[in-house]
Amino acid sequence: MDANTITSPVLLVALLIPLIGAIGVMIKGYNENLREAISCVASLFLLASVGWLIRPVLGGKILVLDLFTIVDGVSVTLRADAMSMIFALVASSLWTIAVFYSMGYMRGLREHAQTRFNACFAIAIFGAIGVAFSDNLFTMYLFYEIVSVCTYPLVAHHQDKEGYDGGRKYLVYLTFTAKAFLLPAMILIYVLTGSLDFATNIASGIIPADTGKGLVIMLYVFCLFGFAKNGIMPFHHWLPGAMVAPTPVSALLHAVAVVKVGVFCTTRVMLYVFGIDLMADLNLGVPTAYFVGFTIIAASIIALSKDNLKARLAYSTVSQLSYIIMGVALLTPAAIQGGLIHIVNHAFAKITLFFCAGAIYVAAHRKDISDMEGLGKVMPFTFGAFAVASLSMIGAPPVAGFVTKWNLLVGSVEAHQIGIVLILLASTLLNAAYFAPITLRAFFGKRPASAGVSGIKEAPLSMLIPILIACTISVIIGIYPGFMMQFVTAVIGGMQ
């Protein structure tokens, strides 16, 4: 432990706040207002405690906290460094926004079992924060599995056949990959190194130098597919299936918490278990980039064919997640920066898009894009926000997505991968092709006589305000990317 490592109980406080919130929600579930007040307060406390960690982490400190030791080298230990802060800040700030939004949504639709919904929501955030703050592979695996299990009730929320089918697919994909790939990979790494702790920089990794090449490649592939929440094809089917969930779930969990847990784990393991030196030595990076490049293109093409708005957004998520992994896999400083910052940029933009989808459903009860012609005129704020967030997805300035695309393009040129540049350009065109028509048709489409828009107005303010906040942040981090970039720069600090 070097001088920059300090023990901090704040990590435990931050971790436990959502859990305590969940317990509070369960106890006070009979009182609607009190229950939601607990969620709100918990989310604000979480945001504050994660915010408290910003200063020391930017000061170059690594905060750690040992909780349990299972056997020597395997422990439950928390760590906050620059990389964990990227994800923790995103998850905690978006939880705050989503809590307000889901209040409006769930009440607006008079959904059943709202107590269970709120409690599981909070436990999912507990898992996400745990993943963000994990100091070793075991802790990460623990919280990763907690997220899998406690989001099942959210996916199957409607308790109809569709809900159960989606939920089953969800659990089957996620637990199968975790057990079949992640578990053996983790145990093998333990057998090889005697420890599961992450390295403290992104260069060295923890795999011993004399490990056989074939074994390392096997471990790497296991890790890539083991975290199936990252949505890499062919293990992505759970994500579109999970869209049967209520929209706040799709928004927070399937644009932020669950899928970002997947990519965060994947990139964390790539950088801090394998390390960029080893990945470069064994030439693992570039093939990975091309492999996920296929997911980027294929998912975009599938998205084009979807008329259901949430399904289109889901495939868009599958595609966008791979940007993050592609960036890190290219192993050049700019590409890693572009990949990691996309965790933030995609989160804010995609949550806005899902929030809009939910608002449209609550206000107009419409799910299909073809039914949305002309809706923009009666719901200008919702579709305005949708348009801005779409621009971020496409990567147009000044919205956040531009920062990602810029860095990724610079990074792939630095890596001399023209193929990747072409993939990025093609996917940008595809993004535009499946996002632009939605806004265009909403504002300028000719509405068919059968589907009038009279009587439809904007969703309640408790939904509209979170939409506008998320959308505004997307613009702000596009114009001033500096604040979040500090963390990303700190992650790759060793490379420059």
Partner 1 sequence: MDQLLLNPGFPLLSAMVFLPLVGSFILLPVKSDEQCRIVSLAATGLVALLSIALVIGFDNSTAAFQFGESYRWIPSLDINYTVGVDGISILLVVMTALIMPFCVLASWSYIKKRVKPFMICLLIMETAMIGVFVALDFVLFYILWEAMLIPMYLIIAIWGGPRKVYASIKFFLYTLAGSILLLVAIIWLAWQNDFSFYIPDMMWQPYALSAQILIFLAFFLAFAIKVPMFPFHTWLPAAHVEAPTAGSVILASILLKMGTYGFLRFALPIVPDATFYLMPYVLWLSIAGIIYGGLTALAQQDMKKLIAYSSVGHMGFVTLGIFILNKQGIEGAILQMVNHGITTGALFLCVGMIYERTHSRDLHVSSGVGQYMPVFVTFLAFFSLSSFGFPGTNSFVGEFLILAGTFEFDLTLALAAIPGAVLAAAYMLRMLQKVIWGGANNPDQSYLTDLNTREIVTLAPFLLFVLWIGLGPKPFLAMIDVSVVELLADLAAHKSEMLAATLVH
Residues interacting with partner 1, by CB under 8 A? 68-71, 74, 76, 138, 141-142, 145, 149, 152, 156, 159-161, 164, 167-168, 171-172, 175-176, 179-180, 183-184, 187-188, 190-191
The whole-angstrom separation of Cα 370 and Cα 308 is 8
Helix (H, G, I), strand (E, B) or coil at 450: coil
Which of 26, 297 has the CB closer to partner 1? 26
* 50 touches 92 (CB < 8 A): yes
Q: In the bound complex, what is the minimum distance in angstroms from residue 61's beta carbon to partner 1?
A: 27
Q: In the bound complex, what is the minimum distance in angstroms from residue 127's beta carbon to partner 1?
A: 12
Which of 113, 233 has the CB closer to partner 1? 113
Which of 171, 304 has the CB closer to partner 1? 171
Q: In the bound complex, what is the minimum distance in angstroms from residue 190's beta carbon to partner 1?
A: 6
Which of 11, 420 has the CB closer to partner 1? 11
Alpha helices in 213-274 (DSSP H): 213-226, 238-241, 247-252, 258-269
Tell me the CA distances in angstroms from 138 to 18, 60, 77, 491, one per residue in order. 21, 25, 9, 21
Q: In the bound complex, what is the minimum distance in angstroms from residue 282's beta carbon to partner 1?
A: 19
Which of 112, 457 has the CB closer to partner 1? 112
Number of alpha helices (DSSP H) and beta strands (DSSP E) in the chain: 22, 3
Which of 35, 312 has the CB closer to partner 1? 35
Which of 176, 483 has the CB closer to partner 1? 176
Q: In the bound complex, what is the minimum distance in angstroms from residue 173's beta carbon to partner 1?
A: 12
Q: In the bound complex, what is the minimum distance in angstroms from residue 344's beta carbon to partner 1?
A: 28
* 318 touches 236 (CB < 8 A): yes
* 427 touches 300 (CB < 8 A): yes
Which of 55, 161 has the CB closer to partner 1? 161
Q: Which residues contact 415 (CB under 8 A, 6 or more apart)?
A: 286, 330, 331, 332, 335
Tokens of 209: 């130098």
Q: Where are the beta strands (DSSP E) in 363-444?
A: none
Q: Which residues contact 59 (CB under 8 A, 6 or more apart)?
A: none
The whole-angstrom separation of Cα 405 and Cα 420 is 12
The whole-angstrom separation of Cα 275 and Cα 280 is 9
Q: In the bound complex, what is the minimum distance in angstroms from residue 137's beta carbon to partner 1?
A: 10
Q: In the bound complex, what is the minimum distance in angstroms from residue 221's beta carbon to partner 1?
A: 13
Phi-psi region of 374 (alpha: psi -120 to 50; beta: other; left: phi over 0): left
In the block, tokens 């999970």 appear at 242
Helix (H, G, I), strand (E, B) or coil at 69: strand
Sheet holding 62-71, edge to edge: 5-7, 62-71, 74-80
Q: In the bound complex, what is the minimum distance in angstroms from residue 186's beta carbon to partner 1?
A: 8
Which of 212, 455 has the CB closer to partner 1? 212
The whole-angstrom separation of Cα 113 and Cα 96 is 21
Identify any residues that bridge with 76 across adjacent strands, giving them in sequence order: 68
**Nearest-CA neighbor of 182 among 153, 209, 148, 157?**
148
Q: In the bound complex, what is the minimum distance in angstroms from residue 19's beta carbon to partner 1?
A: 13
**Nearest-CA neighbor of 430 among 392, 390, 387, 394?**
394
Which of 177, 431 has the CB closer to partner 1? 177
